[in-house]
A and B are shown apart, each in its own frame.
Chain A
């Protein structure tokens, strides 16, 4: 059994059959298998005699090959035709032969690639449709349990809610602030470059303010949370599912919706508007920095224009979208977690899917909302 390569296994032809010599062990497996294929053109030659007298080391992989050469039925009578072998080796060969009697190769279904590709497209489309249906159902379920809990303050999970607000909201403040600050600076630069040709550099202030109040503040914060928190929700709930923790909750008569989903959804709906507000401020600050340092617009001038030219409704339009985005992101994150099955692979796939879906939804809804607000003249 020690894996010495002293006498590599061989299979030779001799009068009346085949002769196996040397070590039939795992390191020689690949080569021995090739030899067997060569020695045995056609697969009907299972009846040959096999001489084991020169056999060295033998392990299960070698035993498998020997059984393949003469077939499991004959190997079960190994004690008759190879009595010189020690009892342990008989035991091994018998065990392997017994196992191989029942381990016929499983036919794998083969289909033409064209049909497979069509089938794959069909499956993807069907999944897409089913996904939206499931999402609608899950939204209904969430709203239903929210309604049932709302009037019963003793069932509010305040501790869980606060913990989730800390994770999704408070801990995300630095990254959201930094991100929006940088994007604010970039927008200001872009605006200045284009507007300078018209001698309208001063309107950079309006550009930054409008962009961040209406769109960028909420959009950047939402995308950040979709990547940061929707994935976390999916992974948390998914691995709880894999560990049968969700089933354990249900079996104890506890509602996973109430315990797991509602605190997360509510925490998200509280955190995102706050983060949006912070994002707006810090984006405008980024713009202000560029205006002051690069465009010769003083800070007082900047603030003056900001106050004079920017109606409140831009701020409200931007902030109003935040709870809707938050709800969608949280619901998608949780739902994907519940869809994960027991495997690590599946948790990974659903985490990816939850991030992609929630970012897609956020941008889609934002585009629809932009058109709606434009038509309304808000």
Chain B
């Protein structure tokens, strides 16, 4: 499936607030089919809240969110559940089910939604765990026995369980070692190329932005300031963006990406 201009998700005029605290005001954003969209912004600018609004976990206080051309909030429950099955979500803290081991965690949606038998589902789950870079013996571990990086990988495997069309990742490489993070980016691109899903990727990892993302959306001052390819975003005249991309870390990541391309 080629990348196209077609938007799978359209957010228009989104408003979110918690009491008097306004998080989003008149926020617009598109996620296009097959792209990896990096979402950046300072801590507390509402990236996670935006993700939760799109996947339907938070009721927006205004504006509209159209998913595959339909407004999730206006749909009856069963149609909505069917649409939501086309999402894969990886939460910031993993949110694995603590009373199930890893293979059961990944197998659960396969059994519930795809109607597989337990044995088939667990077999598939083990492959997905391996795809996410976990060793085979991890399949029987409980979530509280995992390191931070393993938790991220297991959460990715669960998000990928149903071969979603849109994958939402909330800071997936935070807490991974640099080698693991690079492997994660590579894995994400391989799977995206193979399966053609779109990715909404909240990240603070500049290397991920430079290597994996097709477009970058910058959230600041309650809105999306720009959402475009990296070159355009970097060139945007804004203090926060300048500090972010042209600070010491931004420069290093940009040079590293340049070297990679030159090879």
Chain B residues near A236: list those with CB within 8 A.
none
The stretch that binds B, out of A59-67, A213-221, A311-319, is: A59-67
State whether B163 touches A60 (Cβ < 8 A).
yes
Give the docked Cα–Cα distance between A138 and B199 (Å).
51
User: B129 contacts A103, CB within 8 Å?
Assistant: yes
Contacts of B115 in A (CB 8 A): 30
Q: Which residues of B contact A (CB under 8 A)?
A: 1, 97-99, 110, 114-117, 120, 123-124, 126-131, 135-137, 139-140, 142-144, 160, 162-163, 165, 187, 190-191, 193-197
* Interface residue? A178 (CB, 8 A): no
Q: A88-B196, A103-B129 are in contact. Are A29 and B98 (CB under 8 A)?
A: no
Question: Given A59-B163, A103-B126, A106-B139, A344–B114 Cβ distance below 8 Å?
Answer: no
Any chain B CB within 8 A of the CB of A27?
yes
Complex interface: chain B residues within 8 A of A96 (CB): 127, 131
Q: A1-B1, A1-B197, A30-B116 are in contact. List 8 more A-B contacts (CB 8 A).
A: A30-B117, A33-B120, A64-B123, A95-B194, A99-B130, A103-B136, A242-B144, A342-B142
The answer to the question of A100 belonging to the interface, with a C-beta cut-off of 8 Å to chain B, is yes
Bitwise interface map of A from 332 to 363 toward B, beta carbon under 8 Å scored 1, else 0: 00000000011111100000000000000000
Is B130's CB under 8 angstroms from A91's CB? no
Say yes or no: is A2 at the interface (Cβ < 8 Å to chain B).
Answer: yes
Instruction: Name the one of B124, B128, B195, B196 contacting A29, with C-beta atoms under 8 angstroms.
Output: B124
Nearest CB in chain A: distance from B55 CB, A: 19
6 A-B pairs, CB-CB below 8 angstroms? A29-B114, A33-B120, A103-B130, A105-B123, A106-B140, A242-B144
Q: A30-B116, A104-B136 are in contact. Are A345 and B193 (CB under 8 A)?
A: no
Q: Are A91 and B193 in contact (CB under 8 A)?
A: yes
Task: Given A1-B163, A60-B127, A103-B127, answer yes or no on A92-B120 (Cβ-Cβ < 8 Å).
Answer: no
A89 at the binding interface (Cβ < 8 Å): yes
Chain B's closest residue to A341 (CB) is B144
A61 to B128, CA, bound (A): 9
**Alpha-carbon distance between A1 and B194 when the two chains are bound, in angstroms:** 10
User: Could you say which residues of chain A place their CB within 8 Å of the CB of B128?
Assistant: 60, 99
Q: Which residues on the B side are within 8 Å of A60 (C-beta)?
A: 124, 127-128, 131, 160, 163, 195
> Which A residues lie at the B interface, using CB under 8 A?
1-2, 25-27, 29-30, 33, 59-61, 64, 87-89, 91-92, 95-96, 99-100, 102-106, 242, 341-346
B96 to chain A, nearest CB (A): 10
Q: State whether B126 touches A88 (Cβ < 8 A).
A: no
Q: How far, in whole Å, are A305 and B160 apart by their CA atoms in the complex?
A: 76
How many Å lie between the Cα of A344 and that of B131 in the bound state? 27
In the bound complex, residues from chain A placing their C-beta under 8 Å from that of B197 are 1
The answer to whether A88 touches B144 (Cβ under 8 A) is no
Which residues of chain A come closer than 8 Å to B110, judged between CB atoms? 26
Given contacts A2-B165, A64-B127, A92-B194, is CB(A242)–CB(B98) below 8 Å? yes
Q: Is B194 in contact with A88, judged by CB distance below 8 angstroms? A: yes
Which of B98, B129, B144 is most buried by chain A, counting CB atoms within 10 A of its CB?
B98
The residue that B98 contacts in the complex, of A2, A102, A345, with Cβ under 8 A, is A345
In the bound complex, what is the Cα–Cα distance between A96 and B126 (angstroms)? 11
Are A1 and B196 within 8 A (Cβ)?
yes
Q: Which residue of B lies closest to A90 (CB)?
A: B194
In angstroms, Cα B127 to Cα A96, docked, is 7
Q: Chain B residue with minimal CB distance to A65?
A: B124
CB-CB nearest in chain A for B140: A106
* Cβ of A352 to closest chain B Cβ, rounded Å: 14
Q: How far is the CB of A107 from chain B (nearest CB, A)?
A: 11
Residue of B nearest to A63 (CB): B194
Assess the A102–B136 pair: CB atoms within 8 A: yes
Q: How far is the CB of B107 from the nearest CB of chain A, in Å?
A: 12
Chain B residues in 8 Å Cβ range of A103: 126-127, 129-130, 136, 139
A55 to chain B, nearest CB (A): 13
Q: Which residues of B contact A25 (CB under 8 A)?
A: 163
CB within 8 A of A342: which of B98, B163, B191? Answer: B98
CB of A133, distance to nearest CB on chain B (Å): 25
**Is the pair A26, B163 in contact by a Cβ cutoff of 8 Å?**
yes
Pick from A2, A27, A102, A345: contact of B114, CB under 8 Å: A27
* A26 (CB) vs chain B CBs: closest residue: B114
Which residues of chain B are near A29, meaning CB under 8 Å? 114, 116, 120, 124
Q: What is the bound-complex CA distance between A2 and B191, given in angstroms?
A: 16
Q: Please tell me if the beta carbons of B98 and A91 are within 8 angstroms of each other in the complex.
A: no
Q: Contacts A60-B163, A104-B136 known; A99 to B120 CB distance under 8 Å?
A: no
